[in-house]
Amino acid sequence: MSKVKHSVLALLLLMAAFLSYGCGNKSEKQPFELPVFSSYRDIPGVTDEEINAIEELKSKRQSFTYMSPLTTETFVLPDGTYAGFTAKFCELLSNLFEIPFVIEIGTWNDVMNKFDEGADIFTGEMTPTIERRQTYFMTLPVAQRALGVFTHKDSDKLET
């Protein structure tokens, strides 16, 4: 993978650190405001080399693709627009990097085929494993999502 792609993905990791900062048990923490950056250039620690690499990459394209299957994180509203975590995340990336991050709907196989063809796409659908990291450049998750199970109060309790 090129140095430019590594720079973009490194910045996404840096951004993920800011997004996840302060996550955890909120009752033990004092309220605070997360830093808000209007541009990747404003993120502390971003080097001139990374900025130049991102600008070079942006000059060669009009947008980036974020591929996702239809899920609770990526869904279509009645007016045809996308909503959910993916839509908000792409909006944040588009604003931060000053280039559109466009959602493309595809199945798991579509995502894998795009990667195997060498396409430059982003996705949140692949869990980073040792095996996958030997083939693909992968970051850690940029957000932690909790799984909530809701049951009727009279139902059996779930132990695991």
Contact between 124 and 86 under an 8 Å Cβ cutoff? The reply is yes
Say yes or no to pLDDT of 103 above 50: yes
**What contacts 26, CB < 8 A, 6 or more positions away?**
none
Tokens of 119: 């396409």
Confidence of residue 22 (pLDDT cuts 50, 70, 90): very low
3-state secondary structure of 67: strand
Interval 77-86 mean pLDDT:
94
**CA angle, residues 25, 30, 36, in degrees to nearest 5:** 95
Which has more pLDDT, 129 or 160?
129
101-105/64-68 β-pairing: parallel
Pick the closest to residue 66 from 19, 103, 107 (CA basis).
103
Q: Is the pLDDT of residue 3 over 80?
A: no
